[in-house]
């Protein structure tokens, strides 16, 4: 509502906030770790989508783009709470796309692999960072500029057929 008041309208919501906890054992995760990860990664996305769906333009170009992760599909032994939220985001995206399609609001997700962002050195031990990027076919982490065009496409008229 504040966006609409200050900017006049809201066309696109990109849900991209996330935290992760690198732990070598499930017993190292604290209640606080788990709650913070779920509150940030999936509950925050629910609340943002709820608010945005009230003001996104109907039957035109409104869209919601959620950031999930390849860990939603393969899991990650050292990111249990993070991977679980990314799986929830994938299911949430698919369900919400079905719910909002009749209103003309598209809902999609982008599931990047390892991308060099400030989250990585803040979350991973140095030794894990060196092997982490080797787990993908390109044998390196991507850059935000390499995944950004996916969001631009999904938000554009060129992506108007895609939802879910």
The tens digit of pLDDT for each residue in 52-106 reads 999 887 656 799 999 999 999 999 999 999 999 999 999 999 999 999 999 999 9
151 catalytic, yes or no? Answer: no
Q: Can you tell me the distance from the alpha carbon of 83 to that of 71, in angstroms, rounded to the nearest whole number?
A: 5
Q: What is the mean pLDDT of the chain?
A: 91
Q: Are 55 and 4 in contact (CB under 8 A)?
A: yes
**164 in any annotated domain:** no
**51 in any annotated domain:** yes
Q: Are 119 and 19 in contact (CB under 8 A)?
A: yes
CATH number at residue 65: 3.40.50.720
Q: Report how many domains make up the chain.
A: 1
Q: Is the overall model pTM greater than 0.75, yes or no?
A: yes
Q: Give rounded-to-5 percent helix, strand, coil for the chain.
A: 55, 10, 35
Q: DSSP letter at 73?
A: H
Residue ranges making up the domain that contains 95:
2-159
Point out the catalytic residue in the list 22, 47, 73, 82: 82
Q: What percent of the chain has pLDDT over 70?
A: 97
Residues pairing with 63 in the sheet? 12, 106
Q: Can you tell me the distance from the alpha carbon of 131 to that of 90, in angstroms, rounded to the nearest whole number?
A: 26
Residues pairing with 64 in the sheet? 13, 107
């Amino acid at each position: 509502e504040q966006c609409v008041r200050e900017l006049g309208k809201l066309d696109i919501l990109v849900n991209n906030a996330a935290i992760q906890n690198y732990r070598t054992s499930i017993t190292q995760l604290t209640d606080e770790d788990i709650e913070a990860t779920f509150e940030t990664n999936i509950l925050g996305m629910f609340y943002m989508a709820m608010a945005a769906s009230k003001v996104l333009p109907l039957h035109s170009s409104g869209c919601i783009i959620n950031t999930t992760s390849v860990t939603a599909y393969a899991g990650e032994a050292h990111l249990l709470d993070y991977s679980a939220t990314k799986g929830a985001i994938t299911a949430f995206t698919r369900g919400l796309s079905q719910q909002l399609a009749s209103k003309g609001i598209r809902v999609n997700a982008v599931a990047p692999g390892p991308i060099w962002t400030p989250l990585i050195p803040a979350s991973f031990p140095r030794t894990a960072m060196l092997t982490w990027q080797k787990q993908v076919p390109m044998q390196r982490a991507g850059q935000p500029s390499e995944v950004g065009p996916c969001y631009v496409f999904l938000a554009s008229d060129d992506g108007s057929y895609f939802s879910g």
